[in-house]
């Protein structure tokens, strides 16, 4: 949310500065006697200011990109409209469009718009000034487009990587504890309005620290991502897996009643314990399930789940001790 708000502020500042830059450009165009170009440029000033005001008014809502699409397309049309009269000036004006569009629009949408612009620009320059100017303009614009696309793509990958690092456990690949509390609070708030059930399943790897001593941390770090992936394949679409402690995993199951959670818990436990794990000869899991009750907070639900898990582990130990006797 903070990153989104920062992006919106940057867009507002950019639009206002762009409107100011166009005003300064209009003064220079007026001094040179380019009156028709002054009138065309004047259309861009209210367009930028409207976009800035629109984004500011809707800053607390889900961002909509339609206003950015309208603005980018309007700027491209204005430049293409004046291209036959001022080919050199408008060509350089269009060179800024890729950077601006990739900042405001999704990569795919910006790419499509820029490909259309480069095609139209090439055809218009070809028909008015000959094939050499048309080819040169098309190549130059394509170079700017390619550079802007690479920058936008690398930025998107970096942003996705940072988001993944912030939300996931780096060893197992499951979501981390911080994201668990945020997601659980969100699902409980949703269920309070819709009355849909939410269930949690806790999975504990028994004798985890003993496994570390026997097989080494390196082997366990290889085992955990495979374990997480197998568990993820056993749950439904929309369910999520989190790692809260070294040996504790929790499955969050929206729209799942208590009976369904118990059935799913037993199936997951059976499948994971029957799976062959290298170098672990035999995997033992302790499990418990809990379903959210109306009025219960996320902390209370988690506490009840872990209490049930502790009770289950004690019962298992007592049964094992009795069997040895």
- Over residues 213-264, the pLDDT tens digits come to 888 888 888 889 999 999 999 888 889 999 998 889 999 999 889 898 999 9
- pLDDT recorded at residue 320: 55
Residue 2 has pLDDT above 50, yes or no: no
Residue 130 has pLDDT above 80, yes or no: yes
- pLDDT recorded at residue 60: 57
The CA distances from residue 21 to 17, 50, 61, in Å, are 6, 15, 29
Whether 253 and 235 have beta carbons less than 8 Å apart is answered as yes
Region at 52 (left for phi over 0; alpha for psi -120 to 50; beta for the rest): alpha
Whether 269 and 209 have beta carbons less than 8 Å apart is answered as no
Determine the Cα–Cα distance for residues 265 and 288; give it in Å rounded to an integer.
8
Per DSSP (E only), the strands in 110-221 are 198-205
Residue 201 has pLDDT above 90, yes or no: yes
Determine the Cα–Cα distance for residues 34 and 78; give it in Å rounded to an integer.
15
Instruction: Considering the domain delimited by 177-324, tell me its CATH architecture.
Output: 2-Layer Sandwich (3.30)
The mean pLDDT of the chain is 82
In the chain, what's the furthest Cα-to-Cα distance?
A: 104
Determine the Cα–Cα distance for residues 126 and 144; give it in Å rounded to an integer.
19
> Could you read off the pLDDT of 52-103 as tens digits, one per residue?
776 676 665 555 667 778 878 887 888 888 888 878 777 777 877 887 788 7
pLDDT average, residue stretch 297-321 = 80
% pLDDT > 70, the chain: 86
Determine the Cα–Cα distance for residues 47 and 15; give it in Å rounded to an integer.
9
The 3-state DSSP class for residue 125 equals helix
Residues of the chain with CATH 3.30.70.270: 177-324
- Which tokens go with 261? 């959670």
Backbone φ, ψ for residue 205 (5° rounding)? -80, 110
């Amino acid at each position: 949310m903070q990153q989104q708000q920062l992006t919106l502020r940057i867009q507002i500042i950019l639009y206002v500065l762009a409107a100011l830059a166009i005003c300064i450009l209009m003064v220079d165009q007026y001094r040179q006697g380019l009156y028709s170009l002054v009138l065309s440029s004047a259309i861009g000033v209210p367009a930028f200011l409207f976009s800035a005001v629109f984004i500011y008014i809707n800053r607390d809502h889900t961002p909509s990109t339609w206003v950015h699409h309208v603005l980018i397309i309007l700027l491209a049309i204005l430049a293409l409209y004046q291209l036959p009269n001022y080919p050199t000036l408008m060509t350089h004006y269009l060179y800024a469009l890729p950077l601006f569009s990739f900042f405001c629009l999704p990569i795919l949408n910006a790419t499509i718009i820029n490909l259309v612009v480069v095609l139209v620009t090439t055809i218009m320059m070809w028909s008015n000034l000959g094939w050499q100017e048309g080819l040169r303009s098309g190549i130059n614009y394509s170079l700017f487009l390619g550079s802007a696309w690479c920058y936008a793509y690398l930025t998107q990958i970096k942003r996705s990587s940072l988001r993944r690092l912030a939300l996931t456990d780096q060893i197992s690949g499951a979501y981390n504890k911080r994201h668990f509390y945020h997601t659980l609070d969100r699902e409980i708030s949703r269920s309070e309005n819709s009355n849909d059930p939410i269930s949690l399943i806790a999975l504990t790897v028994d004798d985890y620290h003993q496994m570390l001593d026997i097989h080494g941390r390196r082997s366990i770090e290889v085992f955990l991502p495979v374990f997480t992936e197998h568990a993820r394949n056993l749950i439904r679409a929309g369910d999520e897996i989190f790692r809260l402690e070294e040996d504790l995993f929790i499955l969050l199951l929206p729209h799942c009643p208590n009976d369904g959670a118990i059935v799913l818990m037993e199936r997951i436990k059976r499948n994971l314990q029957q799976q062959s794990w290298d170098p672990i000869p035999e995997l033992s899991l302790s499990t418990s399930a809990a379903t959210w009750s109306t009025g219960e907070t996320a902390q209370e639900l988690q506490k009840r789940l872990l209490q049930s898990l502790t009770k289950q582990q004690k019962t298992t130990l007592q049964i094992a001790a009795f069997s040895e006797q």
